[in-house]
Amino acid sequence: MTVSSALTCALRFPCTLTPRDLEAAHGPIRVEISEPALARVRQCRDFVDELLRSGRPVYGATTGYGALVGFSAGADLTRHSQGLVDFLSVGQGPPLAPELVRAMLLARVWSLAQGNSGVSPEVVTALVEVLGTGLAPVVPEYGSVGASGDLVPLAHATAALMGRGEIFAGGIRLPAVHALAAAGLRPLTLAGRDGLALVNGTALTSAAAGLACAQAVRSVTAGLALTALLAEILGVETEFASDALARASGHPGAVEAARLLRTRLSGARPSGLRPLQEPYSLRCVPQLAGAVLTSVRHAEEVVVADLNGVSDNPVFFPDTGGVVHGGNFFGQPVAFAADLLSSALTQLANLAERQLDLLMDPHRNTGLPPSLSAAPGREHGLTGVQIAATALVVAMRRAAIPAAMQSIPTNQSNQDIVPFGTQAALTAYEQTRKLRWVHGSLAVGLRQAVHLGGRLPTSAAGAEFIGRLCAAVDPVDPDRPLDADIRAAADLLDGLCASCLEPAQG
């Protein structure tokens, strides 16, 4: 796959799709499928056609779908394929973010292009063409149990590519047929097994979890950068980031977190006015952030495996003549990983909220005014910022309830156990958005602390960070609305931390 500027690799086996690649699909991207890969797709499609001519039973082609597998399919395979999209177009709720839907399409084409799904080459090409535009099908949030893949969301996306439903084009919601025509694309026509191949995979689950992983890597770095700046502003001793201490714990994540803290704190000069032992929200950051980092990298490893696997049923092996009916569409691995990610990100938000509280408490903040107010009583400083941060943390805690074991039998007990990986992944994706705002709140607090007489950083990293913060956020004096400032600080953190941690290797 080749994507101008953002993504510069080719789809040649082996070729690993990563969460960062999913982020590149936010806008138009150029995807190239190598001729050997397309040849394999054609070979698999020809193999499926040969199987159907031979009369060999193939799920979803010669049979009904799901619990109706015991009934024969109609003779018109095109109608059978398109009918699947019809009866699965039942999603409800608000539309998914366009960048999430586009990442889902990229994940699906990556799976189909491996040549084990029996899809027509024209379908792969059509997905590539859509990714080359800025179009994003309108896909409702609810409908998938994440068991036979993301059936309902992928059906809505497929229907839009067929010219039904709606598509986002430049942020505007248009009838799909009009959006396709304006982009110079023809509506997709399904034939044979195309419908089942398009909907029978974990593309939304892996895409949402992948985007969450990409943001989570930045959020870990942001949390460490904020911690280091807080330590300098308060004049904290830096031995909590000791390499020897972290290595004694036996946890590689803690060692890495401590290293990153020491890098940022290089040149810091403690005030000597702080207590021997700091609160846990400072003293235990390497241990906490290190555990989050370990969890994020584990989740990313699972997601990368899913993105680069074949999530379909049945799976075809033309070289050996095999047709294997099974459960590769069962999204349990990513469900567990996404739940872990939600929990880890929530603890990172807990940490930032407690650090903001420490910064605003005159009994613990080394002489700064209460609530970081320029004139306590007449002005209220960051009082509202802290309240909103607390609300965000509680929202994250409530959302962190695991989804991966919330199984409810459905589909006449054909799907008698389901992983709800889609909901787990979408929750993790939403958790990253809330965490950004919590981190943005702490960043605004640190900027205000410097305005009110907090110690200026003496480390190079800290000086650069506070300089950029001061340029992006004005001091709060007098009181004013700060909602936009929080978002601006969150964006600044994303830019600061975009390349500080390497992604997990697939």
Q: 14 in a domain, yes or no?
A: yes
Return per-residue pLDDT of the chain as tens, 506 residues. Answer: 333 334 333 334 347 899 999 998 999 998 989 899 999 999 999 999 999 999 899 998 999 888 899 898 988 888 998 999 999 999 999 999 999 999 999 999 999 999 999 999 999 999 999 999 999 999 999 999 988 889 999 999 999 999 999 999 999 999 999 999 999 999 999 988 899 999 999 999 999 999 999 999 999 999 999 999 999 999 999 999 999 999 999 999 999 999 999 999 999 999 888 888 889 999 999 999 999 999 999 999 999 999 999 999 999 999 999 999 999 999 999 999 999 999 999 999 999 999 999 999 999 999 999 999 999 999 999 999 999 999 999 999 999 999 989 888 888 887 888 888 999 999 999 999 999 999 999 999 999 999 999 999 999 999 999 999 999 999 999 999 999 999 999 999 998 887 555 433 33
Domain final residue pick, 161, 182, 201? 201
183, 220: one domain? no
Domain span holding position 123:
2-201
- Compute the half-sphere exposure of residue 79: CA atoms within 13 Å on the CB side of its CA: 4
Residue 5: per-residue pLDDT: 36
Domain final residue pick, 137, 169, 201? 201
Q: Which member of 59, 142, 280, 429 is catalytic?
A: 59
Domain final residue pick, 170, 201, 232? 201
Residue 77: per-residue pLDDT: 85
Tokens at 378, concatenated? 């007449």
Q: 504 in a domain, yes or no?
A: no
154, 287: one domain? no
185, 253: one domain? no
Contact 119, 198 (CB under 8 A): yes
Verify whether residue 280 is a known catalytic residue: no
Domains contained in the chain, number: 2
Q: 438 in a domain, yes or no?
A: yes
Domain at 325, CATH number: 1.20.200.10
Q: How far is the C-alpha of 453 from the C-alpha of 34, rounded, in Å?
A: 60
Q: 503 in a domain, yes or no?
A: no
79, 222: one domain? no
Q: 23 in a domain, yes or no?
A: yes
Residue 499: per-residue pLDDT: 57
Q: How far is the C-alpha of 157 from the C-alpha of 109, rounded, in Å?
A: 13
Q: How far is the C-alpha of 296 from the C-alpha of 220, rounded, in Å?
A: 9
161, 221: one domain? no
Residue 501: per-residue pLDDT: 53
Tokens at 270, concatenated? 């403690």
439, 324: one domain? yes
165, 276: one domain? no
Q: 71 in a domain, yes or no?
A: yes
Specify which residues 107 forms β-bridges with: none
Residue 411: per-residue pLDDT: 84
CA nearest neighbour of 239 among 205, 204, 265: 265
Residue 385: per-residue pLDDT: 98
Instruction: Determine the Cα angle at 408 with ends 407 and 413, to 5°.
Output: 120
Q: How far is the C-alpha of 211 from the C-alpha of 429, rounded, in Å?
A: 7
Residue 415: per-residue pLDDT: 82
Helices (H) and strands (E) in the chain, counts: 18, 9
3-state secondary structure of 8: strand
243, 185: one domain? no
Q: How far is the C-alpha of 317 from the C-alpha of 52, rounded, in Å?
A: 15
Contact 399, 312 (CB under 8 A): no
pTM of the model: 0.94
Q: 15 in a domain, yes or no?
A: yes
337, 423: one domain? yes
Domain at 184, CATH number: 1.10.275.10
58, 197: one domain? yes
Tokens at 29, concatenated? 């991207």
194, 260: one domain? no
180, 266: one domain? no
Q: 334 in a domain, yes or no?
A: yes
Q: What is the 3-state secondary structure (H, E, C) of 202-236?
A: CHHHHHHHHHHHHHHHHHHHHHHHHHHHHHHHHCC
Q: How far is the C-alpha of 359 from the C-alpha of 248, rounded, in Å?
A: 30
